[in-house]
Amino acid sequence: DAKTTQPPSMDCAEGRAANLPCNHSTISGNEYVYWYRQIHSQGPQYIIHGLKNNETNEMASLIITEDRKSSTLILPHATLRDTAVYYCIVTRVNDMRFGAGTRLTVKP
């Protein structure tokens, strides 16, 4: 599975969009990009995933570059409850190999 690189931490103002980047330059053609988040002491929560097209659901949008070497998770209107560690995972099978993730802090 491809390795991912994420910034260790980011801040975002409440009500603004949070844009979380992820680099996955070694991604293979059949590997998906997944995003999960983990709020303190809880199990990870699925957010969104995609292969090569941009995806949107009720929680977030996923923008994947045309060469698929990087992606961005967008939380359109961040709230205090979005404070969490966000994990970007690239995999072709259903076992998720988590890295260290990005700790997003949403501030009032």
Partner 1 sequence: DAGVTQSPTHLIKTRGQQVTLRCSPISGHKSVSWYQQVLGQGPQFIFQYYEKEERGRGNFPDRFSARQFPNYSSELNVNALLLGDSALYLCASSSPGLAVEQFFGPGTRLTVL
Contact residues: partner 1, CB under 8 A: 32, 34, 41-46, 49, 51, 85, 87, 93-101
Residue ranges of alpha helices (H) inside 1-108 are: none
- Cβ-based nearer residue to partner 1, 70 or 102: 102
What's CA 1's distance to the chain center, in Å?
16
**How far is residue 98's CA from residue 35's CA, in Å, rounded to a whole number?**
10
Spatial CB neighbours of 29, under 8 Å, sequence gap ≥ 6 = none
**How far is residue 90's CA from residue 61's CA, in Å, rounded to a whole number?**
17
- Cβ-based nearer residue to partner 1, 23 or 98: 98
Q: How far is the CB of 52 from partner 1 (least distance, A)?
A: 12
Q: How far is the CB of 43 from partner 1 (least distance, A)?
A: 3
- Cβ-based nearer residue to partner 1, 14 or 52: 52
Q: How far is the CB of 77 from partner 1 (least distance, A)?
A: 23
Residues in the chain: 108
